């Protein structure tokens, strides 16, 4: 019994000593690794291998996570350019639509001012000439404006007087001409019968009787048109008077509304636009006068009634490019047909066509020259668009508007090229034929910022 406790004591002491040595060893390991107690023991043991998760054959391999690209960069370049151009075109279309609505609301004021500009372009050289002969600006302006409108009024009075004086004779001649035309149709190879002619006349009478209300309303509208015409004439007179007298200060006031960065270019483009407008108006008046004189002489010797009023109509209609010449020539041919017969009508048509061919191929290129450089296709499309938008007035002002716009755009291109050259940029711009157009070529270079004060520039 005495040996068992001693053996047990030595065994317990050995186990205690071994435990203390293990604790010391563990403390040294933890001190070297800097981990929490018990971490060394876990680190000494190898980690159990984790089997990889099975992947499906159809599942794509995972991509490394990263920043997403900019959506604008993902859109193709052509689509981006089309979108940028598209919304800008929509803004421009909306602006033009609003502008057209405003113009249609004040159509009378706009047309009268444009006509006043055309009349001013015609009369301003006379004011400058009178001032060079010592006449003060005020009396020169008043004298020129009064004489100009008196001449226009006398032309209108003369046409009205001639029509009223010859209306009875013209009615008899028209009735006789209709009878002659009827007899000619009956004897012509067209096999027109008397019954067909009577049916056509009956249909015309019934159409007139059925549309009596429309004719009456048209007459009432005609009264309104007369009132608007008188108002427009007064506005044209006063606008022309002030433009002739104070055009320089009006132009300076307009320049102050232009942003300072664009003011030098606009100041240089204004006088050139005015010279283009003046050349167009004076050339058109001269061409219309030549047409009226020669066609009037031709139909006078053909014994067509009211040759002089018809010549005045031809002069006035010539201000509508292309359409006016056709309409006035057709009017002369119709009057010759119903009053003098088919042969006289054919000869009148020959005279009208001959004069118009000389006008189109000789007079306009020689008189207008390079002052109004607008392609014939542009003239046709412009007249058509102006007539569709604003009727006869739109057709009249469309071509000078396009001519002035063409001059202004050409000058601004040259001015921008010269400014770019002065700043170290390209010194020339390519023209439409692929060549290079030097800025300022042919006297079209930019002018100083100051507004030209010469009397020859007009408004």
Handedness of CA 23, 27, 30, 32 (dihedral sign): negative
Q: What is the rounded average pLDDT for all residues in the chain? A: 74
List, for residues 245-266, the tens digit of each pLDDT value.
Answer: 888 888 888 888 888 888 888 8
* DSSP for 113-125, written as a single string: HHHHHHHHHHHHH
Q: What pLDDT is attached to residue 448?
A: 38
Q: Which residue has the higher pLDDT, 323 or 113?
A: 113
Of 404, 402, 401, 429, residue with least CA distance to 415? 429
Q: Would you place residue 98 in the very low, low, confident or very high pLDDT band (cuts 50, 70, 90)?
A: very high
Token reading at 167: 């209306």
In this predicted structure, the answer to whether residue 77 has a pLDDT above a threshold of 80 is yes
CA atoms of 322 and 360, how far apart (whole Å): 10
Q: What are phi and psi of 306, to 5 degrees?
A: 55, 50
Angle between helix 307-317 and helix 263-301 axes, rounded to 10 deg: 160
Q: What pLDDT is attached to residue 369?
A: 61
Kindly give, in sequence order, each residue whose CB lies less than 8 Å from that of residue 332, ignoring residues fewer than 6 positions away.
295, 299, 304, 310, 314, 348, 352
CA atoms of 21 and 29, how far apart (whole Å): 13
Q: What pLDDT is attached to residue 458?
A: 42
Token reading at 450: 């100051």
Q: What are phi and psi of 168, to 5 degrees?
A: -70, -45
b/e per residue 84-108 (b: at least 16 CB within 10 A): eeeeeeeeeeeeeeeeeeeeeeeee
Q: What is the DSSP letter of 363?
A: I
Kindly give, in sequence order, each residue whose CB lies less than 8 Å from that of residue 51, ignoring residues fewer than 6 positions away.
none
Average pLDDT over residues 365-373: 66
Question: CA-CA distances (angstroms) from residue 326 to 82, 256, 320, 341, 415?
Answer: 43, 44, 10, 20, 40
CA atoms of 390 and 398, how far apart (whole Å): 10
CA atoms of 207 and 220, how far apart (whole Å): 20
% of the chain surpassing 90 pLDDT: 2
Residues 447 and 271 sit within 8 Å (Cβ to Cβ): yes
CA atoms of 329 and 313, how far apart (whole Å): 10
């Amino acid at each position: 019994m005495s040996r068992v406790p001693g053996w047990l004591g030595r065994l317990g002491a050995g186990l205690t000593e071994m435990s203390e040595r293990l604790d010391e060893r563990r403390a040294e390991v933890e001190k070297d690794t800097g981990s929490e107690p018990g971490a060394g023991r876990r680190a000494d043991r190898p980690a159990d291998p984790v089997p990889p998760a099975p992947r499906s054959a159809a599942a794509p391999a995972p991509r490394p996570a990263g920043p997403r690209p900019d959506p604008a960069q993902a859109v193709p370049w052509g689509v981006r350019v089309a979108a940028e151009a598209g919304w800008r075109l929509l803004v421009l279309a909306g602006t033009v639509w609003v502008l057209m609505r405003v113009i249609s609301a004040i159509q009378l004021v706009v047309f009268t001012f444009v006509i006043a500009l055309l009349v001013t372009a015609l009369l301003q050289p006379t004011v400058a000439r009178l001032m060079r002969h010592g006449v003060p600006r005020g009396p020169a302006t008043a004298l020129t404006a009064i004489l100009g409108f008196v001449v226009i009024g006398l032309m209108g009075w003369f046409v009205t007087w001639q029509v009223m004086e010859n209306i009875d004779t013209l009615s008899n001649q028209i009735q006789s001409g209709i009878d002659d035309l009827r007899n000619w149709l009956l004897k012509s190879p067209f096999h027109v019968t008397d019954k067909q002619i009577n049916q056509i006349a009956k249909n015309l009478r019934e159409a007139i009787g059925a549309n009596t209300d429309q004719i009456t309303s048209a007459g009432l509208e005609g009264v309104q048109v007369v009132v608007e015409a008188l108002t427009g004439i007064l506005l044209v007179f006063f606008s022309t008077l002030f433009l002739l007298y104070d055009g320089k200060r009006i132009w300076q006031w307009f320049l102050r509304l232009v942003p300072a960065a664009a003011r030098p270019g606009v100041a240089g483009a204004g006088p050139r636009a005015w010279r283009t407008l003046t050349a167009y108006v004076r050339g058109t008046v001269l061409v219309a006068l030549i047409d009226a004189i020669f066609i009037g002489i031709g139909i006078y010797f053909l014994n067509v009634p009211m040759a002089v009023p018809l010549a005045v109509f031809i002069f006035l209609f010539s201000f509508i490019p292309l359409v006016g010449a056709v309409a006035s020539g057709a009017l002369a041919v119709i009057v010759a047909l119903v009053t003098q017969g088919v042969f006289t009508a054919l000869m009148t048509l020959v005279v009208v066509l001959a004069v118009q061919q000389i006008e189109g191929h000789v007079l306009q290129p020689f008189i207008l020259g390079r002052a109004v450089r607008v392609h014939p296709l542009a003239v046709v499309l412009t007249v058509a668009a102006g007539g569709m938008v604003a009727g006869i007035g739109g057709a009249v002002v469309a071509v000078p508007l396009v001519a002035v716009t063409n001059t202004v755009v050409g000058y601004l291109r040259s001015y921008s090229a010269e400014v770019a050259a002065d700043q170290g940029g390209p010194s020339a711009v390519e023209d439409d034929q692929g060549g290079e157009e030097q800025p300022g070529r042919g006297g079209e270079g930019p002018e100083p910022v100051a507004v030209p004060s010469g009397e020859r520039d007009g408004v």
